[in-house]
């Protein structure tokens, strides 16, 4: 599943092709996604409207239109948004595509169809933080995401720190890959109960979460299987994995073996010598 860096990479990649351009037509394969495709409403709100901004919130893309409406897109497990010339042959799992006035097409492809495309009215756009994003915590790069915030939130809780930072209500957008990598970088074992972490440890973790996510974005995200950016290129952060997917391999810091453990149903990777 695309995590925060991958969605941010797509967001940045789409901006030069979409902002300031008008949608001339919308096409749909007729197949259902995670939520029903609001085709009729989308045609009314989107066609002949200019795209004004493209932003990311958590793992969602927000495409604003001159009509005041907004498209909220979640890539699910295998979703992909790419820019193509109209002459390019459509792929098997292209489900929704928008024709633009600059002679390109924005195509949404999703083999497993767990992603979603939702249309918000101007009124719904104004209230989206209280509705769609009601359970989304602060962004990792925001001032609200701080050691003091996490320390206070964790008080009296026995949840494993890895599950804690992967909980969307606590912090938005951190998935399994980047939770593993950030905890290794911070020297904190993923099984640690959050109530045992000191303010200093939380500060170290906040720093490393931001550094790891930031570098992953610079690398174009991680392509484990399906992920491609808006120009259909692979990310390469996966070549920098220190622990994720490296069970049984040598730790790059201490030469001990990387261990694997299931925490909350998710594969977790760590070095028991480097992470305490």
Catalytic residue among 12, 34, 210, 266: 266
Length of the chain: 276
Please confirm, yes or no, whether 122 is among the known catalytic residues: no
Q: Phi/psi of residue 195, each to 5°?
A: -70, -15
Q: Which residues pair with 98 in a beta bridge?
A: 26, 106
Instruction: Using alpha carbons, select from 145, 169, 144 the residue that is nearest to residue 159.
Output: 169
Catalytic residue among 3, 6, 8, 181: 3
Catalytic residue among 56, 59, 204, 242: 59
For 225, counting Cβ atoms within 10 Å of its Cβ (0-12 exposed, 13-18 middle, 19+ buried), the class is exposed
Q: Which residues pair with 96 in a beta bridge?
A: 28, 108
Tokens describing residue 48: 């002949």
SS3 content of the chain, % helix, strand, coil (to 5): 30, 25, 45
Please confirm, yes or no, whether 34 is among the known catalytic residues: no
Q: Could you tell me where the beta strands, DSSP code E, fall in 93-188?
A: 94-100, 105-110, 116-120
Pair 28, 42: CB distance under 8 Å:
no
**Separation CA 184–CA 252 (nearest Å):** 11
**Separation CA 219–CA 237 (nearest Å):** 5
Catalytic residue among 2, 5, 140, 190: 2
**Separation CA 253–CA 243 (nearest Å):** 11
Active centre residues (catalytic): 2-3, 59, 266
């Amino acid at each position: 599943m695309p995590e925060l860096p991958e969605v941010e990479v797509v967001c940045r990649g789409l901006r030069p092709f979409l902002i300031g351009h008008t949608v001339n037509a919308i096409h749909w394969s007729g197949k259902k996604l995670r939520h029903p495709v609001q085709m009729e409403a989308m045609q009314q709100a989107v066609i002949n409207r200019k795209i004004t901004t493209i932003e990311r919130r958590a793992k969602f893309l927000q495409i604003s239109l001159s009509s005041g409406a907004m498209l909220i897109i979640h890539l699910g497990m295998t979703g992909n948004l790419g820019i193509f010339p109209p002459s390019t042959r459509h792929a098997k799992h292209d489900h929704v595509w928008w024709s633009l006035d600059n002679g390109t097409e924005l195509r949404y492809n999703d083999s497993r169809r767990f992603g979603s495309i939702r249309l918000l009215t101007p009124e719904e756009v104004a209230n989206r933080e209280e509705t769609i994003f009601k359970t989304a915590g602060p962004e990792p790069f925001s001032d609200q995401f701080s050691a003091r915030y996490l320390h206070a939130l964790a008080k009296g809780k026995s949840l494993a720190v890895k599950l804690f930072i992967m909980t969307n209500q606590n912090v938005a957008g951190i998935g399994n890959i980047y939770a593993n990598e950030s905890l290794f970088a911070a020297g904190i074992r993923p099984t640690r109960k959050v109530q045992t972490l000191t303010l200093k440890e939380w500060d170290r973790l906040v720093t490393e979460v931001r550094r790891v996510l930031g570098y992953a974005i610079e690398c174009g995200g991680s392509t484990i299987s399906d992920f491609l950016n808006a120009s259909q290129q692979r990310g390469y952060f996966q070549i920098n994995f220190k622990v994720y997917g490296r069970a049984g391999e040598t730790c790059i810091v201490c030469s001990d073996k990387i261990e694997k453990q299931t925490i909350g149903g998710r594969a977790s990777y760590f070095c028991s010598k480097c992470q305490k």
